[in-house]
Structure 1
Amino acid sequence: MMGTVSVRVGAWRWGLGIAAVLALGAAIGLWARHGAAVFFEMLAAGLAYCF
């Protein structure tokens, strides 16, 4: 029974890790393509929309 729980927790950690790497890669890609000023403006607009 404990082995199944451990596998589920491990799968969630892998999933979250992959999602974090993809988000970081997207941020670096936007920075490289649009430059720092546009990147920060897009980030600020996104945060303003959320809050």
Structure 2
Amino acid sequence: MSESYLEIQLDQQPIELCKLLKIADLVTGGGEAKIVISEGYVLLNGEVEYQKKKSIS
């Protein structure tokens, strides 16, 4: 099984995780972002992140 990672550099900090997924064009909208986060599909620094409004800096 192959894993892929996306590294994103932020010009403006902080940003909420669900908004970051939308900006990075990884989801089509906020609803989808909340679903993928709550179902454990998002890794942040190598660990599963469940907080939709997690502040990323």
Tell me if TM exceeds 0.5: no
TM-score by length of 1: 0.31
Q: Which one has the largest radius of gyration?
A: 1
Higher relative contact order (CA 8 A, sep 6+): 2
Give the structure-2-normalised TM-score: 0.29
- Kindly indicate which of the two structures has a greater share of residues assigned to helix: 1
